[in-house]
Structure 1
């Protein structure tokens, strides 16, 4: 039921759909929005209407999934005309910050917050060490996947985030086991064992939580509220607002439901449920359709169909793509183009032409985004941008030259050619050495990290690092020393010498000699896992094949043999617990080989080209730059022009990925555009992405032109 509005915004007239949400009397409202349908503005109208109807701003909370979204909502309240003093009293915050404050009040202290991966990784390594110790003490130790290097740790933490979003407890029942619980969750036993150990360490020794990182506060609060063993005092709000409902997961929904129930609050939330793409963070389309609103009586679902982001042609194309009502609120044409390409090289060239055309017409490269389905697609495009002298910035992905799977190949090239200057700068050389240790499946150690830094600072030590670390079998002495700092190793050596001197002074020469023999045996006894031995032998063979090849042989042929010998695809499957990550890594390696093929250079010239490419790209970034980003990074943003390459079936949708989520991902990508959308696809319809076909571009453009002409001339045209 709707009432007459008491709040009138400044600067615009709300649509009938916005007015309905602003004034509806239902206690629970879910706004079903399209992309660009002014969700934030509509929620601001609902808040302002509540204030005008007598709700104190102090009794209103708006929860978002990012600090930026919370900031924008607060500013939108002021922009639509709510008194500045009232608007600033409305609490706009993130779910995690809200949970953090509740836990801070509950625990009576400030828990250390670890904001970055670098802060969390040491805790993961400590947990790995403890799991290894426990496993070794078992009567029959099990073979466990346990991460030690940065990339697998990041992979592990991503899966842990998903488990926490699903409110999975690390505890197991008395009649259960770690192995059976892991099997039930469809995760490796080592991963679940490490999750349990990490959470045990994070819980502290009875003095309260030892530390939290991103999303931990939401998870901890949700678990406390669900278990109900310890009463938690929630603040009482009369009005609760939530933005981007499509990013909701079980843990955030638990917190939201308890907050609403505690204050008997009125709730309004908005979301575009065709934008559910964060399954890794626990957001799942089936969960949202089954759970969101299921515990609320009389939920009213209201539409927000009018998009203010793009013109009628794109609105029609979106309607075809998602089979839902979409209307444009802009009196502006939307330019939609489909560009056919023979291969990735042809596609990169045509994308550059489109960028130069856009730059000539708009003068604003920084208002254009090239959105990629997967990071491996950036290789050909980065190289084409480099050749064209166009600067670019990156969001959601690294430059291909800095990815670990490419860094190892750059390191192998440098070792084979003994050209260590081809990797410029201490930081880059350090990253290359780290990548070599990762892909050689060598165990982690703080001492080794210091050794890497020393070698990176002095290129002349590269060869010594290769022969003394990568190609020499690891011994028991190496394993022991890896865990010690230089100072600790020196102290241990002095203690040993003191002990030997004391034994000789006391006439215990046999005991002193036994200690020396023990040290010699440790230095001579091989202590490497089969995987490490195989990796060492593969590296030896790969270096030989690069060194022995013809000087003028094309780089891609030599590197292709080296990649096969190193078995990078197979190693990726062992290193990364998430098959999707391993697949992306393998695609990046293939893309790098293709870049070498396109260069038509022998290996030494290609290595020098890589160095100059890195230096030139850094220089280009100082200018106005085009954005190169993933779909996930583009979500929540909009651009005057969007270019979307790689639209072949198998690339988008990506083979092996959930089709519904891929459909949503494509929808997110294309709806970032305001004025222009350019799609790059194969020449043949047989290879064309079904998502592109679903947009019916020719029909959408014609229909959009008719709708726009009718609107500009004041004629009525029957809509869908």
Structure 2
């Protein structure tokens, strides 16, 4: 049931489906949408309608899975004309951000965050040693991946709370190895010891806040009632969820608790074909009409079918990939081009096509590139593309990853080239020197000497070194001489010194290959990174550097090239770390160079997807072919006016054939 709308958007004319969702009066709605059907805009319309009917902004809570989705909703609110004062008072948060805020009121102080698998791995090894488990290659990576699913599904917790034992049969039922199930229990006891009257964990990794809050809410014997949680909201009138297709049990537990304790209407929107987090426990059942969202809540399903983002041509090929019919209600056409390229002996392929496309768009739009997004499956694909864009003087902003020039393995190379050439002055950027110190300490296991007191922790010593070297580049030389080479792992130091000697003494195209050989770089990378995909990316970065270095006479010239590239990038880009929202607002002249996951929920006039080779996309290390397909679908459906697919002729991505396309088809 719906009524006449009170909120009239300023920039769009809603479809009948959108208006029905905007004005629906049912207490509990779930909207099933297609890509490009303006899910986020429709959610913004519903927010605008609630405000127009007198709901205070503070009584509206919108939850998203990712930060890009939160940013996309903020953009949509601007687009439909929700006034700025009201926008600023709305509660729009990621699930993990919301959970961390609630937990802070319980725990009394912030819990340290760990952001990478490498930061978490020592605690996994601690749990392995505690259980005296036999290890095998890839155990830590396997554990971290399965632990994400265990946290998302809460399968172990639900079993324990119901009185089950952690048996091999239970592990099989859950879908993990029994060793991993035991290890997860030991790891969580280390992360959340509950000793010495400590009622908070030692640290949190990705999505741990959501999991920790879900356990607090769902554990039958937990002693903290919600009315004692100071930050818990009690008077919400509207609760909305974007990206509901990625909902897992932990997030669902939060939603149910919110609906149980608030007199709120609920609206969730999602698209089954955009599930890219199944490994974290995402389940379709949370978007079914029989899902239990609480007593007295009867779910009403509403459709959002016709895409307004892109025209019939793209709707047709997207429908082939998703194996469903697509309707387009777009007032404009969307071209789809599938261009083939041949990889040359140096590994380059397709960059010339990308540059030509970017130049054409720049010429057609008065020198502006802000409507163009180049979407990558893997961050390492950026190296050849960045070099081509810099050479063509086309400005870009990376989103979802840092420029290859600031990747830790590349910073290690730049540091060693500085040692070899004795030219530390070229590392002119303060941000670069900060990141370089952290990278070298990480790769070389440097035990830094204390500055003020032996009681200083390793992190305090690292921060002191970072601060000193950021302030004064001349401190780099003594840092390498007296800290790295004296206090680093002896075997690694020997390899570094050998590589530096190669850089000093060898010239010509073979210099960098021999430099990497002296480092024994593959073994080094495999010893430092936890995930196979991250190891593969690091190796790909080195392969890209090898191709680039072959053009220079010696290490000095190559080192100068890397530093000049960074300077050129710094002049054209706003920041080395960029959100998609900030990019669109602040860098009107720059194109967006992004991973697909980082722009989920966003849209662009023009999208180019390069590097479409079998083994790259879908990735040969991917665990889910369905998620790879869904990720491809997400990428291609970001386009409004044009989609260009750059395909390796020798080994085209299987998705090209599934869409009925062939290279060089326009």
Specify the alignment match of 2:653 in structure 1. 689
Task: Work out whether residues 68 and 600 of structure 2, in 8 Å CA contact, stay in contact via their aligned partners in 1.
Answer: no
Task: Work out whether residues 238 and 264 of structure 1, in 8 Å CA contact, stay in contact via their aligned partners in 2.
Answer: yes
Specify the alignment match of 2:241 in structure 1. 242
Unaligned runs of 5+ in 2: 449-457, 575-586
Partner deviation per Cα, 1:499-520 (whole Å, 9 max, x = no partner): xxxxxxxxxxxxxxxxxxxxxx
Change (3 A) 1:195 1:697: same
1:654 counterpart SS class = coil
Pairwise CA distance, 1:691? 1.4
Partner deviation per Cα, 1:469-523 (whole Å, 9 max, x = no partner): 4445x5xxxxxxxxxxxxxxxxxxxxxxxxxxxxxxxxxxxxxxxxxxxxxxxxx
Specify the alignment match of 2:341 in structure 1. 341
Q: How does 1:68-83 map to 2 (within 5 A)?
A: none
Residue 534 in structure 1 maps to residue 486 in structure 2? no
Partner deviation per Cα, 1:49-73 (whole Å, 9 max, x = no partner): 7899999988765433467866876
Pairwise CA distance, 1:355? 0.6
Q: Match for 1:616 among 532, 547, 568?
A: 568
Q: Match for 1:184 among 162, 169, 178?
A: 178
Per residue, is there more helix in 1 or in 2? 1
For residues 113 and 159 of structure 1, the distance between their equivalents in structure 2, rounded to whole angstroms, comes to: 26
State the superposition RMSD in angstroms. Answer: 4.8
2:611 counterpart SS class = coil
Q: What is the TM-score when the length of structure 2 is the normalising length?
A: 0.77
Change (3 A) 1:406 1:53: closer
Q: Match for 1:224 among 203, 216, 232?
A: 216
Residue 588 in structure 1 maps to residue 541 in structure 2? yes
Larger mean Cα displacement after TM superposition, 79-88 or 458-467 = 79-88
2:193 counterpart SS class = helix
Task: Work out whether residues 204 and 210 of structure 1, in 8 Å CA contact, stay in contact via their aligned partners in 2.
Answer: no
Q: How does 1:556-595 map to 2 (within 5 A)?
A: 557-595=510-548
Task: Work out whether residues 335 and 642 of structure 2, in 8 Å CA contact, stay in contact via their aligned partners in 1.
Answer: yes
Q: What is the TM-score when the length of structure 1 is the normalising length?
A: 0.72
Unaligned runs of 5+ in 1: 147-151, 475-527, 703-720
For residues 431 and 188 of structure 1, the distance between their equivalents in structure 2, rounded to whole angstroms, comes to: 37
Change (3 A) 1:646 1:84: closer
Partner deviation per Cα, 1:84-142 (whole Å, 9 max, x = no partner): 9999998655444554565577x4xx833469769x999x79x969997x999x89899
Change (3 A) 1:321 1:379: same
Q: Match for 2:378 among 358, 374, 382?
A: 374
Partner deviation per Cα, 1:311-366 (whole Å, 9 max, x = no partner): 12111121112112222222212122122212253411221111111101122211
Specify the alignment match of 1:112 in structure 2. 109
Partner deviation per Cα, 1:513-544 (whole Å, 9 max, x = no partner): xxxxxxxxxxxxxxx9xxx3432333343334
Specify the alignment match of 1:402 in structure 2. 406
For residues 181 and 543 of structure 2, the distance between their equivalents in structure 1, rounded to whole angstroms, comes to: 28
2:607 counterpart SS class = strand
Pairwise CA distance, 1:227? 0.6
Q: Report the count of equivalent residues.
A: 617
For residues 439 and 116 of structure 1, the distance between their equivalents in structure 2, rounded to whole angstroms, comes to: 21
Pairwise CA distance, 1:643? 1.1
Partner deviation per Cα, 1:254-293 (whole Å, 9 max, x = no partner): 111233345586533111222222457x253567679992
Partner deviation per Cα, 1:550-592 (whole Å, 9 max, x = no partner): x3x21xx222223233232222222222222222222222222
Residue 317 in structure 1 maps to residue 320 in structure 2? no
Q: Match for 1:387 among 384, 388, 391?
A: 391
Pairwise CA distance, 1:198? 3.2
For residues 194 and 253 of structure 1, the distance between their equivalents in structure 2, rounded to whole angstroms, comes to: 24
1:676 counterpart SS class = strand
Pairwise CA distance, 1:44? 5.0
Specify the alignment match of 1:603 in structure 2. 555
For residues 652 and 360 of structure 2, the distance between their equivalents in structure 1, rounded to whole angstroms, comes to: 25
For residues 360 and 639 of structure 1, the distance between their equivalents in structure 2, rounded to whole angstroms, comes to: 17
Change (3 A) 1:238 1:592: same
